[in-house]
Structure 1
Amino acid sequence: MARIALVTGVGKETGLGFAVAAELARRGDRVWIAARTLAQAEAMVQAVGGDTVPVALDLSDRSAVADLAGRVQKDEGRLDVLINNAAAVAPWGETAAGADLEVARGVMDVTLFGTWAMCEAFLPLLRVAPAGRLVNVSSGAGSHGDQAFGLTTANGMGTSYAVAKAALNALTAKLAREEASAVKINAVCPGFTATFPGGSEMGARPVAEGAASILWAADLPNDGPTGGFFRDGKPLPW
């Protein structure tokens, strides 16, 4: 039976969301592709092909999240896979002591609270699926264990982004405990991935490899883990 999947943050063909959605569609799954605007989503659907549905979704708009959940409920009756890929980017070089807290609040609102809203809205649909899988796309930036980009490093990715991803890891653990009997919920770091011009020259891994890390969690067997933080199927400390 083909799965019903929803992938957020599918805004460009070079992105992880696009790669994940394309692979799910290639396998024959029905994929709801969410981008910030309907025009973006429709363009991504055209590029992906397969059994795909374009939807506009702004994670800072809680009513839009609720409306989308209602639409999936009406049209599908269940959701097998939710990939929470959408996130906001912090200003490069943002520090904890010097951050504009209104800007930081915006990053947190999308990356943490927007994803949290998605989880709350879609868990009822995931619970009724034969094997519900929820994947929160996180980052080593929100980890104490990542030696290159983690919380104790001097990388310039921005404090609000790192704090939001650390909180997302914590949320994943709490949700997984609550939903252990029905849905497998994990956070995944796709690694430093070449989703931007010049990324490969900087040592970033191919997008397909980062996408495979996310898909691993979407494809977990019934005896697979839940509540963890992973990269390439291997646990990461956070």
Structure 2
Amino acid sequence: MKKVFITGANKSIGFETVRQLLQKGYYVYLGSRSLANGEKAVEKLKAEGLSEVEVIEIDVSDGDSVKAARAAVGRKTDVLDALINNAGISGGLPQTALGAHIETFKEVFDTNVFGVVRVTQAFIELLQKSPQPRIVNVTSISASFTLQNDPSWKYYEHKAAIYSPSKAALNMYTVNLAYDLRDTAFKVNAVCPGYTSTDFNDHNGTGTIEEAGARIAKYALIGADGPTGKLISEENFPETGEAPW
């Protein structure tokens, strides 16, 4: 049975991604900053008949917490087949380039960028033991320089001076990570789940949780002929999935 670790997975899109990968036959380590919330999520899944799941307490912004989570997973398995870096924060809205507070920048980057680096570096050894390892970094199309500079883009006026730069940095980390792993069986991609109706955006999104979860799960499941080092946005680019940087 293939195994996957997903951060920020006790609710919303992360939780739906867990559900869909369980339905695909994966064993899921459900990462949650709150152990209690994670346990509630696991109970809900088991009530649906999805039992191959357990919670792992992890705060991606805390190095000691990441190390403890890695040790916990390492006691349970020698191999991970996929890592989904889903945990993220917005920093609150609105965010303007001149009004955004530097401390909020630090907080958001610590989770959205440095958190991904912490987790990826901590779990890479387990992933390297898989014959077809996959890494999915959950990003946002709002980090596309091309689209953010296109006045005709439907979300052109949706600017977030902290959140979008954090995801742009994550995208560049994804490119570099894919490059480092280019001569291996790894597939590493930055995937946007779409503008989804969640509490993250006060339910202003237009897409469903189910659609978002499916988009993320898909790139944890791709075969040897799948893409790597790409920015994926199937909501905005349904034909190819690949979005411009």
Q: Give the TM-score normalised by the residue count of structure 1.
A: 0.91
The answer to whether the 8 A contact 1:90-1:159 is kept is no
Deviations 1:22-50 (Å, cap 9, x if unpaired)? Answer: 11112221100111110010011011222
Match for 1:27 among 18, 21, 24?
24
Q: Summarize the alignment of residues 169-180 of structure 1 with structure 2, pairs less than 5 Å apart.
A: 169-180=171-182
Q: Secondary structure, in 3 states, of the residue corresponding to 2:145?
A: coil
Gaps spanning 5+ residues in structure 1: where?
none
Residue 136 of structure 1: CA displacement?
A: 0.2
The answer to whether the 8 A contact 1:4-1:29 is kept is yes
RMSD: 1.6
Q: Summarize the alignment of residues 107-122 of structure 1 with structure 2, pairs less than 5 Å apart.
A: 107-122=108-123
Residue 216 of structure 1: CA displacement?
A: 1.5
The answer to whether the 8 A contact 2:91-2:107 is kept is no
Q: Summarize the alignment of residues 9-24 of structure 1 with structure 2, pairs less than 5 Å apart.
A: 9-12=8-11, 15-24=12-21
Corresponding residue of 1:7: 6
Corresponding residue of 2:44: 47
Residue 82 of structure 1: CA displacement?
A: 0.7
Deviations 1:161-185 (Å, cap 9, x if unpaired)? Answer: 1000000000000000101213111
Q: Secondary structure, in 3 states, of the residue corresponding to 2:10?
A: coil
Q: Summarize the alignment of residues 197-236 of structure 1 with structure 2, pairs less than 5 Å apart.
A: 199=203, 202=204, 204-232=206-234, 234-236=241-243
Amino acid at match of 2:126: L
Corresponding residue of 1:163: 165
Residue 132 of structure 1: CA displacement?
A: 0.5
Corresponding residue of 1:100: 101
The answer to whether the 8 A contact 2:16-2:209 is kept is yes
Distance 1:11 1:103 in 2: 24
Deviations 1:102-122 (Å, cap 9, x if unpaired)? Answer: 111100000000011111111
Gaps spanning 5+ residues in structure 2: where?
148-152, 235-239
Moved over 6 A (4+): none
The answer to whether the 8 A contact 2:33-2:57 is kept is yes
Distance 1:163 1:148 in 2: 19
